[in-house]
Chain A
């Protein structure tokens, strides 16, 4: 397959990021063309709109950051939906200064359970995290009685998620902080190298002296913390926690990671790609809703875009 000349100079790991970036421009251009012809203005190109999209993207971005870590070691975390909800519900229920630490603790607990099941009992993560998700759901349903909890987000949560400094929502800073952490972790630490090594060949990583079990456990803990953090921010943004608030995050998070060029079988992928993948998905959703696309059309376009991006990335794996 011949590649466009523009992309040929890039390393294989950066190419998906560049393609996804180009696709974001295409989405923005298409959306702007639509609004120009329909309403005669271009709201999509205004900083206010873009900042708002980034604020919405921050929740997905933080979930995707944790998910990427788990995908890099060729596992998956399907317990994210109710970890998001449980983090938010616990934080709002505890309230006061301990709200956020309590939410984080929920994420750590879920991550430890997932990690023990996957790393020590060697149960496929696909099914184990699914079971953990079911238990979390059951716990939350029993805790709230099946209704939306009456508690509201604390001021600190609202400050982190919804308030703005110089017009920039704080949620974006949170995403930025998580991103810096992830980049340093993946690029600059032995732990990051161990992650990629396990994703490529776990047996080889083990023989090279990598404590594969501990690395895997920690990856699930980080993923759980990211999910509960996103849940608390989401509760701060919506001022309360509610049932099923995390359901809309797991599949888009996986899609964002994969669109960004991370191999679903692990071992390869750059964090920047995941960020670009998140922005792509958020913008796509937003532009489709501006175009007043019905839910049916959105789902179809959503699916086709994922397939298209993967086909363009170069066909790999499987065979």
Chain B
């Protein structure tokens, strides 16, 4: 029992974020005319997915005490690439998906190389590589366009039974075990899959622990014999891969590619906000990608609520900003009570 209590206390912040999300989301469903239905869930899940991927991607460099300003650019690059590749036969599409994921990971690896071998600060290095990736995306899609395969769009952006129907899983009627989960959004399942298949193993690996150690103290990590270079390269590659998945889904969702520079910047900034709301310290060393997913959820669900509760559209951006500002200020109020100012410097 004491073990459980300890775990609860360690994750108190994350739990409070989850509770906050649950309450606001419950409110949303109660007020929504079609609340508690699969259709609403599907729509919400689709809107959250890409940003959740970027927030996970952003978490990893932030854990090392860095920042990746290129996640939005990598997403845009993969988005534009996918709008060219995801057409044709099933094999062609499968290869296209693979190529998109590899491109995302490669972009991340390049970031890692610039940071590790160029010894440039991550924030400024990724600012520069981000410009390069946006440029490549503009080469691929000078104007928005492209038409993705319709089946993959339908399968990925709807509920599980639509996915099963499109893929042709159960040709002779839905089996009994499938019915309860038939209304679950495919993108939500994908989100859980990515979190459990990529983040959890990474978190438990030696490299993953090295990433946390670097964020706490790079010198101490180095002295302890951890492979700093490998950890950094892996971290940035993984961030690129996750951003790539986000871009891939964005292309599937919108069925086209768009090298939109303001959109890329907006996604990057929102990913930082999600990471912070999710409880990861910008100084590095503590936090998790799971928290960032819920950070994204909180951020998004607040804007969902604006649509329901007749808030004038013109006032919405201001409320979004105020919510973000007050969310980050609340936790900081205790700073005013600190007696010895020296404790503030780290």
Contacts and interface: CB of A to CB of B under 8 A. Distances in A.
Given A126-B67, A128-B328, A317-B119, A138 B336 contact: no
B129 A138 contact: no
Contacts, number: 161
Name the residue in B114, B121, B315 with the highest tally of chain A Cβ atoms < 10 Å from its Cβ. B121
B132 A127 contact: no
Contacts of B336: 120-121
A206 B338 CA distance: 15
Interface residue tally of chain B, by bracket?
35 or more
B136 to A, nearest CB: 7
A142 B131 contact: no
A124 B128 CA distance: 22
Nearest to B345: A203
A122 interface: yes
Contacts of B273: 127, 130-131
B328 A127 contact: yes
B317 interface: yes
B282 interface: yes
B318 A142 contact: yes
B131 A300 contact: yes
Interface in A282-319: 294-304, 306-307, 310-311, 315-319
A265 interface: yes
Contacts of B218: 319
A125 to B, nearest CB: 9
Contacts of A296: 135-139, 142, 259
Interface in B309-346: 314-322, 324-325, 328-329, 332-333, 335-336, 341-342, 344-345
Contacts of B169: none
Interface string B255-279: 0000100100100010011001000
Nearest to B129: A303
Contact of B119 (A206, A301, A318): A318
Nearest to A244: B262
Contacts of A298: 135
Contacts of B128: 255, 302-304, 306-307, 310
Nearest to B134: A299
Nearest to B139: A296
A203 B319 contact: no
8 contacts: A121-B332, A128-B325, A138-B322, A141-B314, A247-B262, A295-B135, A296-B135, A319-B218
Interface of A: 78, 117, 120-124, 126-128, 130-139, 141-142, 145-146, 202-203, 206-207, 244, 247, 251, 254-255, 258, 264-265, 294-304, 306-307, 310-311, 315-319
Given A138-B315, A307-B114, A310-B125, 14 more contacts: A121-B332, A124-B283, A134-B320, A135-B322, A247-B262, A295-B138, A299-B132, A299-B134, A303-B130, A307-B120, A307-B125, A310-B120, A310-B124, A315-B120
